[in-house]
Amino acid sequence: MRAVIADGKGGPEVLKVVDLPVPKPGPGQLLIKVRAAGVNRADVMQRQGLYDPPDGNAVLGLEVSGEVAGHGPGVTAPPIGTKVVALVASGGYSEYVAAPAGQVAPAPEGVDLVDAGGIIEVAATVWSNVFMIGQLQKGQSFLLHGGASGIGTMALQLARVAGARIATTVGSDSKVKIARALGADLVINYREEAFEEVLADHGFVPDLILDVVGAAYLRRNVEILGVGGRLVVIGLQGGQLGEMPIGNLLYKQGSVHATSLRARTLEEKRSIVRATTDALWPLLASGTVRPVIAHRHRLAEVSEAHRAIEDPEHIGKELLVVH
């Protein structure tokens, strides 16, 4: 089968399509014939040598759509040919991937199977961090960093459905419109304005912050949190070593969480995938929430797909169409 690996560390040009044996599904796994794979920021970091796959599989890719093509020992359902999506720790950029059965879900109704290839990683990340950990409630104030990203475009829509008041940061004026259309009440171009000053001007005190920047925003995020506020860090684009005003957090009864979906146990991923699909699939079927797709690329154009996600004007998801 054709699959994509990074031949060394570096730019998009190190990505290569190679021939590999079709994986054999192990105990508790399903074999999936991949229709499409989502491209994620984590894949860019893996290509750069900054984020090794936990299972040592050199094939990139954290999420796919496709159909069931085989069963490993101990697994009998769903039947061959069932259309599904799957969350995987690696191996998504390929014609076939083996996935733990608990991380495979029926493909959502109302969404093209190719577009479905870019949903489960972002949706599971958003659901687990914004609602399971962050406990976002109706009427609360939610600050989301990176509102035009793959993660951001999903988080905005789910927070809007939850009835939150939403502020978000984006890196260019062209992204303001899409962030507003997806549910943001307040959009801040972080390259032009200090987000904490704009929020203060609007009396916006976050109950929850979903952060993709890490160190560079740690102090600023903690200082603007409200009483009982939660900061959930899921990205480190601004570095790993930050300074935290602990006294400020302490007086506000605040909390800071940091999570990695990829590093969670199979059992945790199973329950996150279940909770995510229970909540999101009806919203996709009714058209209340929709995946925001930037471009579709063929597997052979994988370098182009990585250039696209790294383009400062990129919005939403890049997809690799495999079969």
* Residues making contact with ligand NAP (CB under 6 A): 40-42, 125, 145-146, 148-152, 169-171, 175, 190, 212-213, 234-235, 237-238, 259-261, 309, 312
Which residue has 């052979």 as its token pair? 300
The residue among 69 and 236 lying less far from ligand NAP, judged by its C-beta, is: 236
- As measured in angstroms, the least distance from the Cβ of 146 to ligand NAP is 3
What residues have CB less than 8 Å from 163, skipping those under 6 apart? 138, 139
- As measured in angstroms, the least distance from the Cβ of 115 to ligand NAP is 15
Which has the closest alpha carbon to 322: 123, 51, 63, 105?
A: 63
- As measured in angstroms, the least distance from the Cβ of 123 to ligand NAP is 10
The residue among 90 and 125 lying less far from ligand NAP, judged by its C-beta, is: 125
Torsions phi, psi for 48 (to 5 deg): -80, -5
The residue among 37 and 170 lying less far from ligand NAP, judged by its C-beta, is: 170
The helix or strand, by DSSP H or E, that contains position 181, with its residue range, turns out to be helix 176-181
Q: How far apart are CA 285 and CA 9, in angstroms?
A: 40
Quickly list H helices, 75-142: 113-116, 120-126
Determine the residue with CB nearest ligand NAP: 171
- As measured in angstroms, the least distance from the Cβ of 145 to ligand NAP is 4
The residue among 70 and 238 lying less far from ligand NAP, judged by its C-beta, is: 238
| 238's tokens | 């601004």
> Which CA distances in Å does 259 have to 41, 149, 233, 236, 318?
15, 18, 7, 11, 23
- As measured in angstroms, the least distance from the Cβ of 140 to ligand NAP is 21
The residue among 72 and 92 lying less far from ligand NAP, judged by its C-beta, is: 92
The residue among 68 and 233 lying less far from ligand NAP, judged by its C-beta, is: 233
Q: Cis peptide before 78, with omega less than 30 degrees from 0?
A: yes
- As measured in angstroms, the least distance from the Cβ of 237 to ligand NAP is 5
